[in-house]
Copies of this chain bind each other. A is one copy, B any other.
Amino acid sequence: MGGMATAERKAQPARVDATRNRERIIAAAREAFVEHGPSVPLDAIAHRAGVGNATLYRHFADRHELIHVVASYSLARITEQAESALAEETDAFEALRRFVHRAADERVGALCSLLYEGFDKNDPNVVDARLGLESAVERLMDNARRSGQLRPDVGLGDLMVAITQLTRPPAGTGCALIERFMHRHLQLFLDGLRAPARSELSGTAVTFEDFETS
């Protein structure tokens, strides 16, 4: 559906105010989802974007579609972050560290809650994007592991879940507070990831599939 909408949009060069409003709505939706979760009233999103609710419905058929677009955007941007960290950093652990903090800035944690609410995990585009992210982060971790800087008993899932958890807006508050703590806590967590391990971990390394197949 996203593809179709884009195609239509290109066929008819669309008015500038229409495309601007579309962007505004997506941005507002991202913020609103981050702050109030995936079931924030669509009217609130429209209001935050400074448009009428009818405009929102004109651009997106329903909440489902809006979530899909917002989530896809974010997924793509985080993957970019992982790949640029891979390409540009020379030190393996520094690359990992950079990715973690950048991903946090994208508010992965908050947006992850979109995944459950009618988000089509089997959409080919989404699957591709997810595999791309998986592979990039796996490479980041492999590099760090091989260079002896990352403890060997942690997996991809350990890192991803921890990032999402630590970057979520705390409890019922807005997102203002977490900004102050997020990077401190991620840094502490990263320090715990460094080799040599300072303790033994319970359970086994968590892979991506572990929480995809839930």
Pick the contact of A185 from B161, B171, B194, B199 — CB < 8 Å?
Answer: B161
Most buried by B among A176, A184, A188, A202: A188
Partner-contacting stretch, out of A12-20, A22-30, A109-117, A125-133: A109-117
Complex: A198 Cα to B190 Cα, angstroms: 9
A191 CB–B CB distance under 8 Å: yes
Whether B166 contacts A162 by the Cβ 8 Å rule is yes
Size band of the interface chain A makes with B: 35 or more
Most buried by B among A38, A162, A210: A162
Residues in chain B near residue A164, CB distance under 8 A: 170-171
Pick the contact of A188 from B115, B158, B183, B214 — CB < 8 Å?
Answer: B158
Q: Which residue of B lies closest to A116 (CB)?
A: B172
Residues of A bordering B, CB below 8 Å: 38, 112-113, 115-117, 154, 157-158, 161-162, 164-166, 168, 170-173, 176-177, 180-181, 183-185, 187-194, 197-199, 201-203, 206, 210-211, 214
